[in-house]
Amino acid sequence: MKIGLVVSTADAPPSAYVVYRDDLGNCIDRCAALGYDGVELALRDRSQVVVPHIKRRLAATGLAVPCISTGQVFAADRLYFTHPDAEVRSQAVVRIVDMIHLAAEFGAKVNMGRVRGLIHNGEDPLAVRQRYIECVHRCADIAELLGVELIIEPVNRYEVNFVNNCAEGLEIIRASARPCQRLMPDTFHMNIEDASFRGSFLAGKDVISYVHVADSNRLAPGWGHLPFDEVFEALHEIGYDGWITAEVLPLPDPDKAAAQAVRYLRARIAGQYASNRKV
């Protein structure tokens, strides 16, 4: 498994769950110094990334960009796929297509978290679902040409009310029926919405492509009460060997949070592999 950290630009809004808010090149250097394998870029717009600059920092450090996350498109600009206004939906699609082109530059995935949207009061859930699927098809037409995965992240009910748990994520993936769409479980949201970590990982084993981790209090792993033994045992059971990326609060300060996350995750992965070798 490879370990990543979610980072963003210096102007990232308070609602962004990122540890480092800085020049993205500086974020890469700081993560490299701590022993990360990569950085997930939490962005509002493609223009925030100067591609040659980032590629130089990646080449110098050996890090990768495994994913582009898009929560700020929803939180800052209120663009999302289920919006009742067709023009807003089109703007959301344009923004995500831009992110897809950016992701292709790095061999990255594109996270479809809150940008998928929500169900407004009084709306027909089936109509809302269809709006989402139509937008996904427009994005997938580009993503599949470029070899970019669109990863759906179930998000807890206190943030959005559409696709809250992994079972709902699997259902919307089946309904969308696009090969590029995969599942991205997040342990923080799973702890609220999923009845079983193991059950959800087993059910999604064929489509899980990326995993976010945070502890029960959204702090770095190991600073809450989430059962990470169960999480890593389940990931091993399904043969998952992809990215584990920490999406946590920058508390008590960014450097301590980042150091705790990578230290804890390295130990868990090494311990899991060690126990497997003994079997």
pTM for the structure as a whole:
0.94
> Average of pLDDT values for 87-100?
98
Residue 278: pLDDT band with limits 50, 70, 90 = very low
pLDDT value for 272: 60
> Average of pLDDT values for 233-245?
97
Handedness of CA 157, 158, 161, 164 (dihedral sign): negative
- Could you report the per-residue pLDDT of 176-228, keeping only the tens digit for each? 999 999 999 999 999 999 999 999 999 999 999 999 999 999 999 999 999 99
- Could you report the per-residue pLDDT of 114-171, keeping only the tens digit for each? 999 999 999 999 999 999 999 999 999 999 999 999 999 999 999 999 999 999 999 9
pLDDT at 276 over 60: no
pLDDT at 262 over 90: yes
Domains recognised in the chain with CATH numbers: 2-278 (3.20.20.150)
Handedness of CA 155, 160, 164, 170 (dihedral sign): negative
- Active-site residue list: 153, 247
What does pLDDT average to over the chain?
A: 95
pLDDT value for 142: 98
> Average of pLDDT values for 257-275?
85
Residue 271: pLDDT band with limits 50, 70, 90 = confident
